[in-house]
Amino acid sequence: MSTRPLPNIIITGTPGTGKTSHAELIVKEAPAFRHINITDFAKENDCFDGYDEERKSHIVDEDKLCDAIEPELEKGGVIVDWHANDLFPERLIDLVIVLKTDNGVLFDRLNKRGYAQSKIDENIDCEIMGIIAQEAREGYQPEIIVELDSNTTDDIDSNVERIISWVDTWKSDHPNGASNELSV
């Protein structure tokens, strides 16, 4: 039976909610973890299926992406950083963090990135409607989903501390690791 010694964590949320900041700080605090930014990973592993001119972004081939990332998830200790979350194998995910940001803060962050107004509007609408959280609830068991506010650096620091504490508890609860197999 294949096991992973560390949990896998998805950090997800609308663009601009602080996914990468959270992931980088977790890896700094717990260096046994690996941060996988899915946009970079998809580029490195040729997991694109075209380019969306309107959104000015690549279209990810989700099947190729899942095939490429599954061996990494089976090793454990991965922090997945991406705005989508429901396509990763549930049996390999131990915690899903959904970051939420107030609309004014999110607007400022996206504007500072130089996003087109249509892309800012689309992402703020997504945040208002809770699309990312809904996808998480549809893809994973409710007990592994945690929604956290990400408006300030204090929020981020507190969230990272909370996630590290959760990891410590997970390791204590799984001294021999967790199975990569489907539960029957």
Q: Give the rounded distance of the alpha carbon of 89 from its chain centre.
A: 13
- Residue 54 has φ and ψ, to the nearest 5°, of -65, -45
CA angle centred on 33, ends 184 and 11, rounded to 5°: 70
113 is known to lie in a ligand binding site:
yes
Burial of residue 130 (CB within 10 Å: 0-12, 13-18, 19+) is middle
> What is the Cα Rg of the chain in Å?
16
Give CA–CA dist 75/71, Å, rounded.
7
20 is known to lie in a ligand binding site:
yes
Q: Would you say 76 and 8 are in contact if contact means Cβ atoms under 8 Å apart? A: yes
109 is known to lie in a ligand binding site:
no
16 is known to lie in a ligand binding site:
yes
CA angle centred on 50, ends 49 and 54, rounded to 5°: 135
- The two tokens of residue 89 are 């194998």
Give the residue numbers of the binding site: 16, 18-21, 113
Give the residue numbers of the binding site for ATP: 16, 18-21, 113
